[in-house]
Chain A
């Protein structure tokens, strides 16, 4: 590691898109002389507002673009970093460190059917994976994206979801927990979408990102369909302070989420969950 790994580089905000009441997608550009954001979907970055602090966010844009990247940030009223981030304007500079972490093993799974399952704010990193897969469409089998949100308004990247729903390149299914009168799609949990899938357990790899209440029932169904723990990958989240496995904040049992993850096989996640639940 270099000293610069604790020092942020600076990216200029090019565009801010309002996704929902609480989420904004920031498009940021790194200077031309920067080595760029060369990343694998699933990796994360630390965004910082100088004077406020630093927090980890997933990379949501296509890995094909190295000098322009996107992150979606949810604002919490008590958010030390997210509140000032949401106040930023186009043209402002944000500090960025990364990419950090391991990312999804997409290269290893070439030739497989890929099933992507996102819940709520878990969609951003899987969106990067979708871009990656579509860029190499003929290297993979079926691509399926399942997305669950609380309400139709809470859905992120509505434009992308619309495009993907009508694309012949992948299957994209959405569901909302609570539907309203304008919603003519599915209502219910993501697990209900999974039940309807026809999977080939021999050649399917599953990437998931979402809250534990989504992941555990989904895994149960997938296991019944014949998938093993080693075929299912979960993008975990934790409040990493350093992002390089030193500060200890994301440590669960023997795993540093920032260094050994944030993508783990479900087998590893199960061990970590058991450790947490033992007390």
Chain B
């Protein structure tokens, strides 16, 4: 959903609390980052501003899960004595506000929009949720975590260029508030008293700040994704490289379950009793052993190296880049956080660009 216009406003740093409080006045569900008892960050529906946390790195589970849930009901059914079974679709999702997405999550939503809505046929379940959602992004001033590498992904970076309804960026003691859509306009109206028109210098200052962050602060991880995309698309990455990558793969599927861009799912029926049940779709991962399972449970020799390449090709292969409008990686670093074999996307890119010299030389953690 491209932005038609961006209007810029300014808000005091201290007004954020008041701004968050006002979100509840909208009468919509508010989904925001919350801290679980052991410190993990999850995006959950909140009823009070005190539940919202803003001081966190990057959440392991992306807020995108509220647009593309890991498990979603297609319909419930009831078998009848005579006549066809009765099926009922789930109720349409109610409008909600998704607060504090990071620019990588916004980029992921753009990928999903492209895949599920713009690329025919439209996935109605996703479309319904997407239309119900108002996205309020919080741009990053510095890398949210040491695993971040968004500037390596085409069009990515610590500030989202598009895809959000409202974006806040902290510049010194002020927030630059950008309003991009009609949904965002409703949020602006809500924050009317807190906002004033942003001076042009604030925008310049924000841009310089982002440029500085990309140049100086994100230097630890270099994925050089464009080069990897070329090599993967041209299918010049050797079998040995995929085998080296697969050697570090436990086929746990974590990298795709945590990935905000991954879309694959499986469809299953769940029985409540003999006559009732539901059909659900659940996230699936091409890294799992059973993913390429065919009729009657046959798996035709798609070993881990093949599936590792499938994963990389679906994200970086040029045909899929076209299908999605951009790279299938937004640099959020969640694959690095979750991979037991230290084989996150930057490492895959590194190996795809430069094959391992010797088979016994294990790749180092990025």
User: Which residues of A pack against B, CB within 8 Å?
Assistant: 1-3, 5-8, 10, 12, 31, 48, 50-55, 76-79, 82, 93, 95, 237-239, 241-242, 244-249, 251, 253-254, 275-276, 278-279
**A7-B74, A54-B267, A76-B297 are known contacts; what are 5 more A-B pairs with Cβ within 8 Å?**
A3-B124, A54-B269, A79-B295, A82-B295, A248-B284
Contact present for A279 and B293 (CB under 8 Å) = no
Contact present for B277 and A6 (CB under 8 Å) = no
25 contacts between A and B (CB under 8 A): A2-B124, A7-B89, A12-B84, A50-B77, A50-B79, A50-B269, A50-B277, A76-B295, A76-B297, A78-B296, A79-B296, A241-B266, A242-B267, A244-B123, A245-B119, A245-B121, A246-B116, A246-B263, A247-B265, A248-B263, A249-B266, A253-B313, A254-B317, A279-B303, A279-B309
The distance from the CB of A11 to the nearest CB of chain B, in whole angstroms, is 8
Residue among A2, A12, A278 making CB contact with B235, cutoff 8 Å: A278
Q: Which residues of A contact B171 (CB under 8 A)?
A: none
The distance from the CB of A208 to the nearest CB of chain B, in whole angstroms, is 19
Tell me the nearest residue of chain B to A8, going by C-beta. Answer: B87
* A249-B291 contact, Cβ under 8 Å, with A78-B296, A241-B265, A279-B305: yes
CA–CA, A104 to B294, complex, Å? 23
Contact present for B297 and A78 (CB under 8 Å) = yes
Q: Which residues of A contact B306 (CB under 8 A)?
A: 276, 279
Contact present for B267 and A53 (CB under 8 Å) = yes
Determine whether B268 belongs to the interface, using a CB cutoff of 8 Å to chain A: yes
Give chain B's interface secondary structure class: mixed
CA–CA, A275 to B79, complex, Å? 44
CA–CA, A32 to B349, complex, Å? 56
The distance from the CB of A182 to the nearest CB of chain B, in whole angstroms, is 30
Contact present for A239 and B264 (CB under 8 Å) = no
Determine whether B122 belongs to the interface, using a CB cutoff of 8 Å to chain A: yes
Q: Which residues of A contact B319 (CB under 8 A)?
A: 253-254
Q: Which residues of B contact A95 (CB under 8 A)?
A: 85
Contact present for B314 and A238 (CB under 8 Å) = no
Contact present for A242 and B265 (CB under 8 Å) = yes
Contact present for A76 and B269 (CB under 8 Å) = no
CA–CA, A82 to B297, complex, Å? 12
Contact present for B293 and A239 (CB under 8 Å) = yes
CA–CA, A5 to B89, complex, Å? 11
CA–CA, A194 to B76, complex, Å? 50
Determine whether B281 belongs to the interface, using a CB cutoff of 8 Å to chain A: yes
Determine whether B125 belongs to the interface, using a CB cutoff of 8 Å to chain A: yes
Determine whether B218 belongs to the interface, using a CB cutoff of 8 Å to chain A: no
Contact present for B267 and A279 (CB under 8 Å) = no
* A239-B277 contact, Cβ under 8 Å, with A2-B124, A7-B75, A10-B84: no
Interface of chain B residues 99 through 135 with chain A (CB within 8 A)? 115-116, 119-125
Contact present for A5 and B264 (CB under 8 Å) = no
CA–CA, A5 to B116, complex, Å? 14
Q: Which residues of B contact A275 (CB under 8 A)?
A: 235
Give chain A's interface secondary structure class: loop
Contact present for B265 and A248 (CB under 8 Å) = yes
Q: Which residues of A contact B75 (CB under 8 A)?
A: 6-7
Residue among B84, B279, B284 making CB contact with A93, cutoff 8 Å: B84
Residue among B124, B266, B277, B284 making CB contact with A51, cutoff 8 Å: B277
Q: Which residues of A contact B286 (CB under 8 A)?
A: 248
Determine whether B183 belongs to the interface, using a CB cutoff of 8 Å to chain A: no
CA–CA, A95 to B124, complex, Å? 20
Contact present for B121 and A244 (CB under 8 Å) = yes
Interface of chain B residues 239 through 284 with chain A (CB within 8 A)? 239, 242, 263-269, 271, 277, 279, 281, 284
Residue among A1, A7, A82 making CB contact with B122, cutoff 8 Å: A1
Residue among B87, B266, B294, B313 making CB contact with A7, cutoff 8 Å: B87
Give me the 7 closest cross-chain CB pairs, A-B, nearest first: A254-B319, A76-B296, A1-B121, A248-B264, A10-B84, A3-B124, A279-B306
Q: Which residues of B contact A7 (CB under 8 A)?
A: 74-75, 87, 89
Q: Which residues of B contact A55 (CB under 8 A)?
A: 295
The distance from the CB of A34 to the nearest CB of chain B, in whole angstroms, is 11
Residue among A31, A51, A93 making CB contact with B269, cutoff 8 Å: A51
Contact present for A5 and B124 (CB under 8 Å) = yes
Determine whether B230 belongs to the interface, using a CB cutoff of 8 Å to chain A: no
The distance from the CB of B130 to the nearest CB of chain A, in whole angstroms, is 14
Tell me the nearest residue of chain A to B242, going by C-beta. Answer: A279
The distance from the CB of A228 to the nearest CB of chain B, in whole angstroms, is 23
A interface footprint on B83-98 (CB within 8 Å = 1, 0 otherwise): 1110101000000000
Q: Which residues of A contact B303 (CB under 8 A)?
A: 279
Contact present for B123 and A246 (CB under 8 Å) = yes
Tell me which of A2, A76, A78, A242 has the highest count of chain B C-beta atoms within 10 A of its own C-beta.
Answer: A242
Determine whether B342 belongs to the interface, using a CB cutoff of 8 Å to chain A: no
The distance from the CB of B115 to the nearest CB of chain A, in whole angstroms, is 8
Residue among A6, A10, A54, A82 making CB contact with B85, cutoff 8 Å: A10
Contact present for B305 and A5 (CB under 8 Å) = no
Tell me the nearest residue of chain B to A56, going by C-beta. Answer: B295
The distance from the CB of A84 to the nearest CB of chain B, in whole angstroms, is 10
Q: Which residues of A contact B116 (CB under 8 A)?
A: 246
